[in-house]
Structure 1
Amino acid sequence: MNNHEIDYKIYGDDMQFVEVELDPDETVVAEAGSLMMMEDDIRMETIFGDGASGGGGFMGKIFSAGKRMLTGESLFMTTFTNEGMGKKHVSFASPYPGKIIPMDLSELDGKIICQKDAFLAAAKGVSIGVEFQRKIGTGFFGGEGFIMQKLEGDGLAFVHAGGTIHRKELSAGETLRVDTGCLVAMTKDVDYSIEFVKGVKTALFGGEGLFFATLRGPGSVWIQSLPFSRLASRVFAAMPAAGGSKDEGSIAKGLFNLFDGD
């Protein structure tokens, strides 16, 4: 094992947090701002990049941090190290309603590819980098952009996604088409491309977007039922157009607003 072996427990249902148990000198790496609580004798340190390698020098750290900028993440990550004599606990919270998915990379061929904001925390030694999509169309039209995250190593990583999470196993050559925003993660052997929705009427009036992701096995894929972008768009659409407050009101209230010019 090149990664620290950590134990964990996930609490909650729709707004989850993960409690990581650290033995003396064990370390967990997390996204900046994801800390919920930690016990005494745990040292918190902000670092460039993911801290996966002990060497590499200053330029290596700058390059590691720069790769994270390409995914829209912060330059910095935070490490939490148990400097006490006994077991200590540190907890990390979900950023929005959904599920935390524990992934043992040693059982997933040492690598998974995930959407750019899915990573929550991992055992020290797991490398958090960028995955450049092989096809230009995937980058321009995919819901997750040209660049996705990759997690590499043989330790535990925790990924967060919205709504209910469904893991589907694809056999060799088996194809699955999903909304581009619903793709959470996949193993390294899954082929990922973007296809245009067939039919002009379907594309323009179907309400599902112009493109969907086509996944071809073999491998595992994780799908989320509620992408954060979809949740945010519904919240934004329900907000008042210009200040004040809108009642949940009746049809009569809606008609009054119509004739009132609001």
Structure 2
Amino acid sequence: MNNHEIDYKLYGDDMQFVEVELDPDETVIAEAGSLMMMDDQIRMETIFGDGSEDSGGGLMGKLLGAGKRVITGESLFMTTFTNEGQGKKHVSFASPYPGKIIPMDLSELNGKLICQKDAFLAAAKGVSVGIELQRKLGTGFFGGEGFIMQKLEGDGMSFIHAGGTMHKRVLEPGETLRVDTGCLVAMTGDVDYNIEFVGKVKTALFGGEGLFFATLRGPGTVWVQSLPFSRLASRVFAASPQRGGNDKGEGSIAGGIFDILGGDRR
């Protein structure tokens, strides 16, 4: 094992957090801003990149790792949490929006996982958080995630998060699954990822599902989310008062009466 071996426990259902157990001198890395709580004698340190580069790589290696994160739209920095005490200590990380936290053992996934740009939450120190370029122009322009996705490499435990309910699907060789581009969360490196036009102009324009599907062809494993954050955010934004929504009791009789009379109940 090149990565630190960490134990963990998940809490909650729709608003989950993960508690990581660290032995002395063990370290976990996490996205900046994901910390929920931690025990005493855990040292928190902000670093460039993901900390997986050799210290012998010097400043150039650190800048390279940080640059990869900037390209994916993430923060320039990551945070490490190291147990400097004598016994076991715990540190907890929370998901940023309603959904699920999925533990991924990279040693069981051939050492590589490709996921959407904002899916990574935390991992054992030694896991490399890099970028995966989509070489097909169509996938890059219309695939929902652009040309660049996150790539997690190593043999340790990683944690990703997604919106709503998560569904794992194992694809047999040649088996194809069509997914809404925003609902794809992660896939193993052997899955063939492409995009496909919905087929009919009327369906594309008025079906409300967009112009393209993500086409995933096995063998491999894919993880799909039921509520992409972009879909949730667009609904909230559309319902806001600035966009024509009603903050005076939508759907209620009282709200309708006050709208007619122009009353203000606040």
Whole-angstrom distance in 1 between the partners of 2:19 and 2:100: 14
Partner of 2:247: 245
Unaligned runs of 5+ in 1: none
Give the TM-score normalised by the residue count of structure 1. 0.95
Same amino acid, percent of matched pairs: 82
Q: CA deviation at 1:258?
A: 8.1
Q: CA deviation at 1:249?
A: 4.0
Superposed CA RMSD in Å reads 1.8
Unaligned runs of 5+ in 2: none
The residue type equivalent to 1:77 in the other structure is M
Contact 2:53 2:62 in 1 (8 A): no
Contact 1:240 1:246 in 2 (8 A): no
The residue type equivalent to 1:246 in the other structure is K
Q: CA deviation at 1:245?
A: 3.0
Q: CA deviation at 1:205?
A: 0.3
Q: Specify the SS of the correspondent of 1:15.
A: coil
Map 1:109-124 → 2, pairs under 5 A: 109-124=110-125
Give the TM-score normalised by the residue count of structure 2. 0.94
Contact 1:29 1:122 in 2 (8 A): yes
Partner of 1:13: 13
Map 1:27-176 → 2, pairs under 5 A: 27-55=27-55, 56-176=57-177
Q: CA deviation at 1:248?
A: 1.5
Whole-angstrom distance in 1 between the partners of 2:157 and 2:243: 46
Contact 2:53 2:61 in 1 (8 A): no
The residue type equivalent to 2:121 in the other structure is L
Contact 1:133 1:139 in 2 (8 A): yes
Per-residue deviation, residues 104-162 of structure 1 (Å, max 9, x unmatched): 00000000000000000000000000000120111111111110000000000000001
Residue correspondences, number: 260
The residue type equivalent to 2:208 in the other structure is G
Q: CA deviation at 1:238?
A: 1.1
Partner of 2:23: 23
Whole-angstrom distance in 2 between the partners of 1:59 and 1:46: 17
Whole-angstrom distance in 2 between the partners of 1:254 and 1:193: 47
Whole-angstrom distance in 2 between the partners of 1:140 and 1:93: 32
Q: In structure 2, do the counterparts of structure 1 residues 242 and 180 end up closer, same or farther at CA, with 3 Å as the change threshold?
A: closer
The residue type equivalent to 1:248 in the other structure is E
